[in-house]
Each structure stands twice: as structure tokens, then as C-alpha cells.
Amino acid sequence: MSLSKGLNSIPADVMIKFSGSLLDDIATCAMIVEQLLLINSKKSIIIFPGGGTIDNYIENYASQQKLGKVVMHKSTVLALDQNALIISSYSKEIVPFTTVIECREILKEGKIPVFMPSQAIFVLDPFRYNAVVSSDSMALYFCKMFDLPELILLKSVDGVLDQENKLLRDISFQQLKELQQDLVDELFPYLAEREQVPIMLMNGRRPGVLSDYLLLNRTIIGTLVR
């Protein structure tokens, strides 16, 4: 998984991974988008979509009808594109893109780009049809490729928990590797340690946590991995 820099660099402050589980709740999505629009007045954002219900449907279908690695991989990746379009439906200020050039133009217009990653994934083939990889690792991969300084994973939970179910506020990449957790996929901790991109995991269902973190530098609740 070699990363090309320079030509792929995008002048933005942060990539926000919008978990697919959040898309099931329209009110939650509207609340998150409201925060994104507020943040965008001060900081430039790129959104990466999760798979969510569409991805789950494909996986359930595959359990009954053998799809094969290639079909399974392409189907689940295309689910990310569909969710990018769904996210963009919440505001005209959120615009889908497939290339770095498109993304830069959207940012110049003062709008928020949301990535439809299938085209790039099919061309670069960075994950080799690896069933372990989720959209979290994909978001981290492209965050590094676009040379962005930070990744935020918006989840449906407050962050990383220890063995006693207590929230861990600040952990190292090594600690993330050592923890027994199902919040991110198996590859993610190793990719995070290699790429050294600061990562904030937070609950997108909690009002104000995202805007407080990015605009006021205040963490109400969440886990910082660095």
C-alpha cells in the first residue's frame, strides 16, 4: 500500500469519516451536517463515507449467495459512493467528488467535498480484496494520501473502551494495537501506527461534540489516538 504524495495533496484541515451507522437516523445526520456547515466557515473539511446499511445488506446477501471476492469487494466499495451521495443530499454545500482536482475546486468554492472513493480504489487497488479492511482503514489510507493532518472517525459510540468499559481519552498507536476492541478493523491499528496520523474517535450522535472539538479545541468526550 504505497502512498503517492505531492500531486495528491489537498489543502484541507481534516478528514471526517461519517460512519454508515449514523446514516440510519435522519435527525442525527441533519444535526451532524449542521455542525459541518458551522465548522466549514472556519476550517476546511473533507468527508469520507462509511458503508452502513447498504454494506450490511450486501454482506447478508453474500452469506446466502456466493458472490466471489471481486464482486463482493466492488459491491461494498460502491456502497460508499451511494452513501456519499446520500450525505450530499442534506445540503447543497456538500458536494461529491471522485478526483483530487474536483476536490480542490470544491474547496475553492468554500464548500465541503464528500469523497466517492470507488474509482480511486479500483484503480489503485490498495486493499487487494481484503475482507478484514473496513471503511475506517480506507479513510485513514486516503487521509494520508491526501496529506491531511488529522482524521476524525464519527461513530455511534463514545470512543475506545478499556477492559472495564471505561472510556480511554488519550492513547498511543501502540496501545490501540494491544487493545482487544471491535471499534475499528484489524488492519486499522497497524496502518495508524505506520502512517502516524492523529485520529480522534467520537460519538456523532452527541450534539455539539464535533464542532466543540474543531472550533473550540474542546473534547467533551472521545478518544484521541496519537
Q: Is residue 93 part of a domain?
A: yes
Q: Is residue 5 part of a domain?
A: no
Handedness of CA 175, 213, 145, 17 (dihedral sign): positive
Q: Give every CB contact of residue 41 below 8 A, 6+ residues apart in sequence.
A: none
Q: What is the pLDDT of residue 54?
A: 81
Q: Is residue 150 part of a domain?
A: yes
Q: Give every CB contact of residue 36 below 8 A, 6+ residues apart in sequence.
A: 16, 45, 47, 91, 94, 112, 210
Q: Is residue 8 part of a domain?
A: no
Q: Is residue 28 part of a domain?
A: yes
- How many domains, the chain? 1
Q: What is the pLDDT of residue 5?
A: 52
- 213 closest CA partner among 201, 205, 225, 197: 201
Rounded Cα distance, 33 and 207, in Å: 11
- Residue-level pLDDT, tens digit, the chain, 226 residues: 444 456 899 999 999 999 999 999 999 999 999 999 999 999 999 999 999 888 778 878 877 888 888 888 888 999 999 999 999 999 999 999 999 999 999 999 999 999 999 999 999 988 876 767 899 999 999 999 999 999 999 999 999 998 888 999 999 999 999 998 889 999 999 999 999 999 999 999 999 999 999 999 998 899 999 9
Q: Give every CB contact of residue 17 below 8 A, 6+ residues apart in sequence.
A: 47, 48, 49, 50, 135, 136, 139, 151, 152, 153, 154
Task: Say which residue the cell 479513510 belongs to.
Answer: 139
Q: Is residue 6 part of a domain?
A: no
The CATH number of the domain holding residue 51 is 3.40.1160.10
Helices within the chain (DSSP H only): 26-40, 52-64, 69-88, 100-108, 118-124, 135-145, 173-178, 188-195, 209-216
Per the structure, the complete domain to which residue 143 belongs is given by: 14-225
Q: Is 115:48 a contact under the CB 8 Å cutoff?
A: yes
Q: What is the pLDDT of residue 165?
A: 87
Q: What is the pTM of this model?
A: 0.92
Q: Is residue 200 part of a domain?
A: yes
AA identity, residue 39: I
Q: Is residue 31 part of a domain?
A: yes
